[in-house]
């Protein structure tokens, strides 16, 4: 699915840009991006860059927070079937990815506020392993061949709660 990544700062010379936004000017076609949701604290998607950054108006109508002028990158987005929780990434990998311009703070416990930080190979390898995907030479995400086989049964048991009054409510509301 083709999507857009956008940030403020309409030119590389714009001094009002924060570091994490300036890095978008350095992106090359074919680069890979990790999409992290601070709300759920999970990696929710991976994408491949389709175009280098170009000046663009804010594509998100009604969001005046960052102004109207900025830059955008077109990406091919792949949503993860099972998002990766921050805590699923080994703490030693998070700490190794905690430099000044890296995604984690020094302890590795929190993700640095902002976006578009470079990702070290050690973190990238961990993310791909957890997502159970591998990349081809052109950056296309594919399931790992060694993860396609299922060991044991393919059925699982689940425990669910049910409202005890559901049957009574249904009979009352739907007239039997």
Task: Report in angstroms the alpha-carbon separations of 78 from 90, 153, 155, 173.
Answer: 23, 28, 27, 43
- Give the pTM: 0.69
Q: Is residue 49 part of a domain?
A: yes
Max intra-chain CA distance, the chain: 70
* Three-class secondary structure of residue 10 per DSSP: coil
Residue 163: the pLDDT is 62
Q: Is residue 172 part of a domain?
A: no
Higher pLDDT, 48 or 146: 48
User: Considering its fold, how many domains does the chain have in total?
Assistant: 1
Residue 21 and residue 9 in contact, taking contact as beta carbons nearer than 8 Å: yes
Tens digit of pLDDT for each residue in 58-93? 887 776 677 788 899 999 988 888 899 989 999 999
Instruction: Quote the domain boundaries for residue 134.
Output: 2-155
Q: Is residue 170 part of a domain?
A: no
Instruction: Report residue 161's pLDDT band, with 50, 70 and 90 as the boundaries.
Output: low
Token pair of 112, please? 């640095």
- Please state the rounded mean pLDDT for residues 146-170: 55
Q: Is residue 162 part of a domain?
A: no
Residue 149 pLDDT exceeds 60: no
Q: Is residue 77 part of a domain?
A: yes
């Amino acid at each position: 699915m083709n999507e857009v990544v956008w940030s403020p700062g309409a030119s590389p010379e714009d001094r009002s840009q924060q570091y994490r936004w300036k890095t978008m000017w350095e992106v090359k076609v074919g680069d890979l991006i990790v999409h992290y949701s601070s709300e759920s604290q999970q990696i929710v998607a991976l994408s491949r860059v389709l175009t280098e950054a170009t000046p663009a108006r804010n594509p998100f109508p009604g969001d005046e927070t960052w102004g109207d002028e900025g830059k955008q990158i077109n990406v091919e987005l792949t949503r993860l079937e099972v998002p990766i929780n921050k805590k699923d990434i080994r703490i030693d990998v998070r700490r190794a990815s905690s430099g000044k311009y890296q995604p984690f703070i020094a302890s590795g416990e929190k993700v640095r506020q902002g976006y578009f930080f470079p990702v070290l190979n050690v973190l990238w390898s961990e993310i791909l392993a957890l997502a159970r995907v591998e990349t081809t030479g052109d950056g296309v995400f594919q399931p790992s061949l060694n993860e396609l086989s299922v060991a044991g049964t393919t059925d699982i048991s689940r425990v669910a709660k049910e409202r005890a009054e559901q049957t009574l409510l249904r009979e009352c509301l739907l007239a039997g």
